[in-house]
Amino acid sequence: MTLAMLKKGQKAKVETISCDLELKNRLYSFGIVKNAILNVDEWTFRKKTIKIEINNSRVALRACEADTINVKAI
């Protein structure tokens, strides 16, 4: 399951990140790493952007970026 499949209010644990090195480093800088716990705060109207909470920070990601993050719902 990818992060883009989660609904508002769901929590998940990051399992893998499958993208190019540049995006992976950007995600790592936000704290989006293996075994990190995140919460889906909100989706935009057309589901193009997702707002998540991770490590007491809020991060906005494009849906295509969220598709590269494999998670396990908890």
Give me the tens of pLDDT residue by residue for the chain, a chain 74 residues long. Answer: 999 999 999 999 999 999 999 999 999 999 999 999 999 999 998 989 999 999 999 999 999 999 999 999 99
Q: Which CATH architecture has domain 3-73?
A: Roll (2.30)
Report the side by side order of strands in the sheet with 37-43: 57-62, 49-54, 37-43, 11-17, 69-73
Question: Which residues are CB-contacts of 2 (< 8 A; sequence separation ≥ 6)?
Answer: 66, 67, 68, 69, 70, 71
**Which alpha helices (H) appear in the chain, and where do they start and end?**
21-29, 63-66
Question: What's the chain's length in residues?
Answer: 74
